[in-house]
Amino acid sequence: MMTPKMVAHFRRSVSFSNTASPPPPPSSNSTTKAPGRRIHFRSTSLPTRSHPILFQLKYHLNQLKSHWASEILPDSLHVDRVSEALMRLRIILESLDDLLDLAPSRDSLRRHPDWVEKVLEDFLVMVDVYGTFQMQIVTLKQCIITAQLATKRKDMLKKVACLKGLKKSGGEISKLMPFLQAIRLHPNDLTGSCDQNGDLELVGVIKEVSEVIVMISEAVFSGIYGSFESRKTSWVMGLKKSKREKGIKELENGILSLGNYGDADLNKKMMEDMEECIDGIESGSERVFRSLINTRVSLLNVLTQ
């Protein structure tokens, strides 16, 4: 996979107006946030649990983990939930980026260069994964547009070809999963002695960010793949049951419409919903991709500046 050349941060313009804001940190010196504007804290104090950036970061991490625990996920996800998760993932990465801009954070990480190198490797893999994912999303969009035209013209052969194309792209996305699993299974604990409690907390937060990125990415990627894969059947106590990954409802309905020869208006609506679903995932994942690059640049600067 091609690795993007990382020389500078992408410019970003972020608003918290579309997501729930964390409660104010337990500090008497909390900063009031102006509506619709992102706050940049540049405190020179050592990041602690009550630091506004760290508090905000932990809040969004806990929100994502509680909302995306595998045991509470429904059989089919809705795109609104996926888009919200990608948006919150972007906020987490940008909060981490702000945390890495603090001089005490950089000083803490410079005491553990070998550990930072391992984190850089993991972030490079995630950048590559999201770069490839973006290309597959473009392919999916092209297939969906072609399928809409084929549906309008009642071209059944073209619809079958589009269905195969969608499943092929879903299969390519599923091939990204082992790279994420390798990060999840890759031990990245801090080795050696550490006398600074602040160092341990910062390392723990960065590890938690990596874990959440992998968790959400696996859910989104498998959701797309699961929407396009054929049902596999098994026999349990004489009963035939279907097995498959959790899918995304709008994508599942779009696939269903390609093989449905009934209500033309309903089929058209389901295809439009599928296109909007892919558009939303493309937009959210692109922002995550850019934020991953920015965060990796900040980590790299820890070792080079």
pLDDT confidence of residue 192: 57
Q: Which residue has the tokens 């990125």?
A: 213
| Amino acid symbol at 15 | S
pLDDT confidence of residue 21: 54
Nearest C-alpha neighbor of 139 from the set 167, 116, 177: 167
Contact criterion met (CB below 8 Å) for 137 and 278: yes
Region of 187 please: left (phi>0), alpha (psi -120 to 50) or beta. Answer: beta
Give me the domain span that covers residue 294: 59-186+200-304
Residue 138 domain-assigned? Answer: yes
d(CA 285, CA 96): 17
Show the low-confidence residues of the chain (pLDDT under 50): 1-8, 11-19, 25-46, 231-244
Residue 5 domain-assigned? Answer: no
Q: What is the CA radius of gyration of the chain?
A: 22
Residue 15 domain-assigned? Answer: no
The domain tally of the chain equals 1
d(CA 164, CA 279): 20
Beta strands 76-77; 247-248: pairing state: parallel
pLDDT confidence of residue 73: 64
pLDDT confidence of residue 261: 66
Structural tokens at position 217: 């990415």
Structural tokens at position 168: 């092929």
Residue 294 domain-assigned? Answer: yes
Contact criterion met (CB below 8 Å) for 274 and 251: yes
pLDDT confidence of residue 230: 59
Nearest C-alpha neighbor of 57 from the set 43, 42, 47, 67: 47
CA triplet 269, 271, 273: central angle to 5 degrees?
Answer: 70
Query: What DSSP string runs through 250-302?
Result: HHHHHHHHHT--S-HHHHHHHHHHHHHHHHHHHHHHHHHHHHHHHHHHHHHHH
- Check residue 71 and report its DSSP letter: G
Residue 38 domain-assigned? Answer: no
Q: What's the Cα-to-Cα distance from 149 to each of 143, 201, 258, 288, rounded to whole Å?
A: 10, 54, 11, 31
Residue 82 domain-assigned? Answer: yes
Helices (H) and strands (E) in the chain, counts: 9, 4
Task: Find residue 77's DSSP bridge partners.
Answer: 248
Structural tokens at position 192: 């050696």
pLDDT confidence of residue 71: 54
